[in-house]
């Protein structure tokens, strides 16, 4: 039977979690910001190697500026997590280390990827100094708008959760 | 009662779907109120929410409630709360349709999040704008400061060249160069002024000055300038205005001349009028209205709003030469003086700029120097000039050295020694009695102001009291004040002219 793994996308509101999923699953993008409330769930099969694939069950959680208010019922049974922040809005990453510690704690240290989205809105030099200044590592830099690094992000996640229970 | 129960049951029945599944996740029963779910199908095949059903089953004890789950199947979409209840042979799933409730919630969240994001972005944009402005002003300030040294060389060399034997056509060409230099110097000063105002580095002086002398100077200068342009100039000075006032004479003069120059620039025919009126006087304070009106081409209402803004926005409104910094400087300086520049104007009729300024009227009046004393000091100076005065020139820039040396030697009054290295100055002043030291502030191995401090601490009176003229490319008032405090008698800021140098020397050589 095809393996299925649940991954959750968490982060502040307006950082582009829904847009990343939409780009990955449907290869679409819309500039209209539509707030997510509750949770949306989508499924996508990801080819890891020539003869290896996996179903990612992607839970798109509503964003919050206080991650402590995340509903525990949404996180149950997660195999992996993607923390998304918006590189153009410092409030979404200024407490990154605390946010990540909280996510790790709530999710029992499942594989976690940190993603700076909306890189199309800032220039490269500013972005580099921003990452350095906030000591952000283990990251993906994506643009849901332009599709930059979106597929590789989810493929990486798929590989990470494939052999992980 | 029975009716209420009936309605309630109808309502609940419409908004709830019950599904029974066995422990393997096979659908045993479904009432299909909201969605069509086939009996005997796998619940996880129906919607990915139920994926990993066995994991889900083991993750709670008896009951589990999950809020606000978006469920969709085909064209049907609901926002639901879902309850799971473990039963003997499997699990009861209750799906509660709360779409309209959550839709309202969504609308509120949408407007809250949008406004939070918008206000954060505005703050970021403002910060970026302020940083850019600060960088721009700092850059301009540093850049214009760096230009002063080469400007000084250019001006001095052309002035020296003008004193040599030249053919009439060479003289004409040189005059163009001198005019260009003068224009560049004024521009540089304007740019420096505006950036110093913008960065808050410009500090106002508060000194007593002769108000009427200032008016006389303006009257004399602008009557001539106006005449040269075929215009009439009129100065209406309120006779009730006191002789002296306390404030920043230099900056007031800069504001008034900028406004008058502006009037000259944009008036082709007619007249320019300068008016100073005493609005009010109380105790040792007064309020004076300064007004400059012209019969020029006038300024459109649209342009009136931006005419005082920084030069970057003014460029396209300028039809005449120059970058149009004058009014931006006026605006900044008048604000710094605690007032506001105002303007009334009509196209083809003319413009009137005015501002009301608070000034102090000092109780002690400026006493004019008695004629006798002036004659005596002049006689002393003439006698002293019979012998050559000894000047020590401390300057490491060879071009400036050459220029200064030539100016000093050409006058025929001075014997000049030159030192490049600041470290040798003290040795030199111990060896030779100098009448004056001219010293660059920035020197190799030490600084001019440090040396001035050491000289002032010397136990030998003759050395201790030697006048020191500092020269510097530094235009920052705070730094200049510091050099004076260190013991320099006066500071000449580069670029300076021959006559400024001569005037400074004459002031200190007895």
Burial class (CB in 10 A: 0-12, 13-18, 19+), B268: exposed
B395-400 mean pLDDT: 80
Q: Do A39 and B109 touch (CB under 8 A)?
A: no
Distance between B52 CA and the closest CA of chain A, angstroms: 7
Phi then psi for residue B412, to 5 deg, are 75, 0
Tell me: pLDDT of A137 over 50.
yes
List residues bridging with A6 in a β-sheet.
A57
Are B148 and B473 in contact by the 8 Å Cβ rule? The answer is yes
Region of residue B45 (left: phi > 0; alpha: psi -120 to 50; beta: else):
alpha
Please state whether beta strands B27-30 and B16-22 pair in parallel, antiparallel, or not at all (unpaired): antiparallel
Residues 6 or more apart from B457 whose CB is under 8 A from it?
Answer: B464
pLDDT at B507: 87
pLDDT at B115: 93
- Our count of domains for chain A comes to 1
Q: Which domains are delineated in chain B? A: 14-97 (3.30.450.20), 103-198 (1.10.287.130), 207-360 (3.30.565.10), 371-508 (3.40.50.2300)
Minimum-distance CB partner of B110 among A35, A42, A74: A35
Looking at residue A43, which CATH number applies to its domain?
3.40.50.300
Residue of A nearest to B60 (CA): A76
Distance between B165 CA and the closest CA of chain A, angstroms: 58
Work out whether the CA dihedral B209, B213, B215, B217 comes out positive or negative: negative
User: How many Cα atoms are found within 13 Å in the side-chain-facing hemisphere of B463?
Assistant: 18
Alpha carbons A18 and A9: distance in angstroms, whole number: 9
Helix (H, G, I), strand (E, B) or coil at A138: coil
Radius of gyration of chain B (CA): 41
Helix (H, G, I), strand (E, B) or coil at B246: strand
Q: Which domain holds residue A103?
A: 4-162
B32-48 mean pLDDT: 92
Q: Is B114 on the interface with A (CB under 8 A)?
A: yes
| Higher pLDDT among residues B365 and B281, named by residue | B281
Give B34's DSSP letter. Answer: S
| Of residues B325, B323, B263, B308, the one with CA closest to residue B290 | B263
pLDDT at B369: 42
Residue of B nearest to A5 (CA): B52
Run of H or E including A29? none
Distance between A16 CA and the closest CA of chain B, angstroms: 13
| Higher pLDDT among residues B404 and B244, named by residue | B244
CB atoms within 10 A of CB B406: 16
Are B328 and B254 in contact by the 8 Å Cβ rule? The answer is no
Residue of A nearest to B106 (CA): A37
User: How many Cα atoms are found within 13 Å in the side-chain-facing hemisphere of B394?
Assistant: 31
Tell me: pLDDT of A151 over 60.
yes
Tell me: pLDDT of A150 over 80.
yes
Q: Is B56 on the interface with A (CB under 8 A)?
A: yes
Q: How confident is the model at residue A142 (pLDDT cuts 50, 70, 90)?
A: very high
Q: Is B126 on the interface with A (CB under 8 A)?
A: no
Q: How confident is the model at residue B453 (pLDDT cuts 50, 70, 90)?
A: confident
Q: Do A39 and B47 touch (CB under 8 A)?
A: no
Helix (H, G, I), strand (E, B) or coil at A111: coil
Distance between A161 CA and the closest CA of chain B, angstroms: 14
| Of residues A78, A130, A139, the one with CA closest to residue A103 | A78
pLDDT at B319: 46
User: For A67-115, how does the pLDDT look when each residue is reduced to its tens digit (9 = 90+)?
Assistant: 999 999 999 999 999 999 999 999 999 899 899 999 999 998 899 999 9
Preceding peptide of B495 cis, ω within 30°: yes
pLDDT at B510: 64
Residues 6 or more apart from B479 whose CB is under 8 A from it?
Answer: B472
Q: How confident is the model at residue B381 (pLDDT cuts 50, 70, 90)?
A: very low
pLDDT at B368: 45
Q: Which of B225-239, B263-277, B374-388, B426-440 has the lowest mean pLDDT?
A: B374-388
User: For B173-201, how does the pLDDT look when each residue is reduced to its tens digit (9 = 90+)?
Assistant: 888 888 888 878 877 877 778 777 877 77
Q: How confident is the model at residue A1 (pLDDT cuts 50, 70, 90)?
A: low
Tell me: pLDDT of B357 over 70.
yes
Percent of chain B with pLDDT over 70: 92
Residues 6 or more apart from A116 whose CB is under 8 A from it?
Answer: A85, A86, A87, A93, A127, A131, A136, A139, A140, A141, A142
Tell me: pLDDT of B241 over 90.
yes
Distance between B50 CA and the closest CA of chain A, angstroms: 10
Q: How confident is the model at residue B311 (pLDDT cuts 50, 70, 90)?
A: low
Burial class (CB in 10 A: 0-12, 13-18, 19+), B263: buried
Distance between B122 CA and the closest CA of chain A, angstroms: 11
Q: Do A39 and B59 touch (CB under 8 A)?
A: no
A-chain residues near B114 (CB < 8 A): 33, 35
Alpha carbons A57 and A4: distance in angstroms, whole number: 7
B-chain residues near A57 (CB < 8 A): 48, 51-52
Are B394 and B438 in contact by the 8 Å Cβ rule? The answer is yes
Q: Do A65 and B116 touch (CB under 8 A)?
A: yes
Alpha carbons B93 and B17: distance in angstroms, whole number: 8
Minimum-distance CB partner of A43 among B51, B113, B116: B51
Q: What separation in angstroms does the CA of B87 have from each of B55, B64, B65, B66, B90?
A: 16, 13, 15, 18, 5
Tell me: pLDDT of B32 over 70.
yes
- Chosen for mutation from A25, A32, A38 (greatest number of chain B CBs closer than 10 Å) is A38
Alpha carbons A125 and A129: distance in angstroms, whole number: 6
Are B116 and B124 in contact by the 8 Å Cβ rule? The answer is no
Region of residue A14 (left: phi > 0; alpha: psi -120 to 50; beta: else):
left
Minimum-distance CB partner of A41 among B48, B55, B102: B48
Which of the residue ranges A74-83, A122-131, B405-414 has the most confident prediction, judged by mean pLDDT?
A74-83
Alpha carbons B18 and B26: distance in angstroms, whole number: 14
Residue of B nearest to A57 (CA): B48
pLDDT at B178: 85
Alpha carbons B234 and B223: distance in angstroms, whole number: 8
Tell me: pLDDT of B282 over 90.
no
Give B270's DSSP letter. Answer: S
Tell me: pLDDT of B238 over 50.
yes
User: For B92-150, how does the pLDDT look when each residue is reduced to its tens digit (9 = 90+)?
Assistant: 999 999 999 999 999 999 999 999 999 999 998 888 888 887 887 778 777 777 888 78
Are B376 and B301 in contact by the 8 Å Cβ rule? The answer is no
Helix (H, G, I), strand (E, B) or coil at B223: helix
B-chain residues near A62 (CB < 8 A): 68, 109
List residues bridging with B456 in a β-sheet.
none
Minimum-distance CB partner of A4 among B52, B113, B114: B52
User: For A18-65, how does the pLDDT look when each residue is reduced to its tens digit (9 = 90+)?
Assistant: 999 999 999 999 999 899 999 999 999 999 988 899 999 999 999 998
pLDDT at A85: 95
Cα three-residue angle B463-B468-B472, rounded to 5 degrees: 145
B478-482 mean pLDDT: 86
User: For B55-106, how does the pLDDT look when each residue is reduced to its tens digit (9 = 90+)?
Assistant: 777 888 899 999 999 999 888 899 999 999 999 888 999 999 999 999 999 9
CB atoms within 10 A of CB B68: 20
Minimum-distance CB partner of B59 among A63, A76, A91: A76
Give me the DSSP letters along B98-128: -HHHHHHHHHHHHHHHHHHHHHHHHHHHHHH
pLDDT at A164: 67
Phi then psi for residue B66, to 5 deg, are -125, 125
Q: Is B51 on the interface with A (CB under 8 A)?
A: yes
User: How many Cα atoms are found within 13 Å in the side-chain-facing hemisphere of B170?
Assistant: 8
Run of H or E including B51? none
Q: Is B173 on the interface with A (CB under 8 A)?
A: no
A114-131 mean pLDDT: 90
Distance between A88 CA and the closest CA of chain B, angstroms: 8
What is the SS3 string spanning B354-366? EEEEEEECCCCCC
Alpha carbons B74 and B82: distance in angstroms, whole number: 19
**Which tokens go with B136?**
């721009």
A-chain residues near B55 (CB < 8 A): 77
pLDDT at B184: 83
The pLDDT mean for chain B works out to 84
| Of residues B404, B415, B474, B417, the one with CA closest to residue B156 | B404
């Amino acid at each position: 039977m095809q393996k299925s793994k649940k991954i959750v996308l968490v982060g502040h509101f307006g950082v582009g979690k829904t847009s990343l999923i939409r780009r990955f699953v449907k290869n679409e993008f819309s500039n209209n910001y539509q707030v997510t409330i509750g949770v949306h769930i989508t499924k996508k099969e990801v080819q890891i190697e020539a003869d290896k694939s996996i179903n990612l069950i992607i839970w798109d959680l509503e964003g919050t500026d206080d991650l402590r208010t995340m509903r525990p019922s949404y996180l149950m049974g997660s195999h992996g997590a993607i923390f998304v922040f918006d590189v153009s809005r410092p409030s979404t990453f200024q407490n990154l280390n605390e946010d990540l510690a909280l996510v790790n704690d709530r999710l029992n240290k499942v594989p976690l990827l940190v993603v700076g989205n909306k890189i199309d809105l800032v220039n490269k030099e500013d972005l580099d100094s921003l990452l350095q200044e906030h000591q952000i590592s283990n990251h993906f830099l994506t643009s849901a708008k332009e599709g930059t690094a979106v597929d590789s992000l989810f493929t990486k996640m798929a590989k990470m959760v494939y052999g992980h229970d | 009662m029975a009716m209420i129960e009936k309605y309630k049951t109808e309502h609940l029945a419409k908004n709830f779907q019950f599904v029974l599944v066995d422990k393997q996740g096979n659908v045993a029963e479904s009432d299909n109120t909201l969605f069509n779910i086939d009996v005997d199908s796998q619940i996880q095949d129906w919607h990915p929410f139920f994926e990993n059903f066995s994991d889900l089953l083991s993750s709670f004890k008896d009951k589990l409630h999950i809020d606000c789950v978006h469920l969709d199947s085909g064209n049907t979409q609901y926002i639901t709360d879902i309850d799971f209840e473990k039963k003997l042979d499997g699990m009861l799933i209750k799906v509660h349709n709360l779409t309209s409730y959550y839709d309202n919630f969504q609308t509120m969240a949408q407007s809250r999040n949008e406004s939070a994001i918008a206000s954060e972005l505005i703050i970021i944009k403002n910060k970026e704008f302020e940083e850019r402005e600060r960088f721009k002003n700092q850059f301009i300030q540093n850049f214009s400061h760096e230009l002063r040294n080469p400007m000084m060389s250019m001006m001095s060399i052309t002035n020296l060249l003008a004193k040599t034997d030249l053919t009439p056509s060479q003289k004409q060409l040189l005059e163009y160069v001198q005019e260009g230099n003068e224009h560049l110097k004024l521009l540089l000063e304007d740019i420096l002024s505006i950036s110093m105002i913008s960065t808050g580095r410009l500090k106002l002086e508060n000194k007593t000055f002769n108000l009427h002398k200032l008016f006389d100077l303006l009257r004399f200068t602008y009557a001539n300038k106006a005449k040269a342009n075929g215009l009439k100039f009129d100065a209406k000075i309120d006779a009730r205005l006191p002789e002296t006032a306390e404030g920043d004479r230099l900056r007031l003069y800069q504001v008034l001349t900028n406004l008058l120059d502006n009037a000259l620039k944009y008036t082709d025919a007619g007249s320019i009028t300068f008016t100073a009126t005493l609005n009010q006087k109380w105790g040792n304070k007064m309020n004076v209205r300064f007004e400059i009106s012209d019969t020029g081409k006038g300024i459109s209402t649209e342009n009136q709003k931006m005419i005082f803004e920084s030069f970057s926005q003014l460029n396209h409104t300028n039809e005449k030469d120059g970058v149009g910094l004058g009014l931006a400087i006026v605006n900044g300086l008048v604000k710094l003086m605690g007032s506001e520049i105002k303007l009334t104007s009509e196209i083809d009729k003319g413009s009137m700029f005015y501002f009301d300024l608070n000034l102090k009227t000092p109780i002690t009046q400026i006493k004019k120097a008695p004629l006798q004393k002036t004659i005596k000091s002049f006689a002393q100076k003439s006698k002293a000039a019979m012998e050559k005065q000894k000047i020590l020139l401390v300057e490491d820039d060879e071009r400036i050295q050459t220029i200064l040396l030539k100016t000093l030697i050409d006058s025929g009054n001075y014997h000049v020694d030159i030192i490049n290295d600041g470290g040798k100055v003290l040795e030199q002043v111990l060896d030779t009695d100098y009448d004056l030291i001219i010293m660059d502030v920035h020197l190799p191995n030490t600084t001019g102001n440090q040396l001035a401090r050491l000289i002032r601490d010397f136990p030998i009176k003759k050395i201790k009291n030697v006048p020191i003229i500092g020269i510097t490319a530094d235009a920052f008032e705070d730094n200049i004040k510091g050099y004076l405090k260190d013991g320099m008698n006066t500071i000449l800021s580069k670029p300076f002219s021959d006559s400024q140098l001569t005037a400074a020397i004459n002031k200190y050589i007895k």
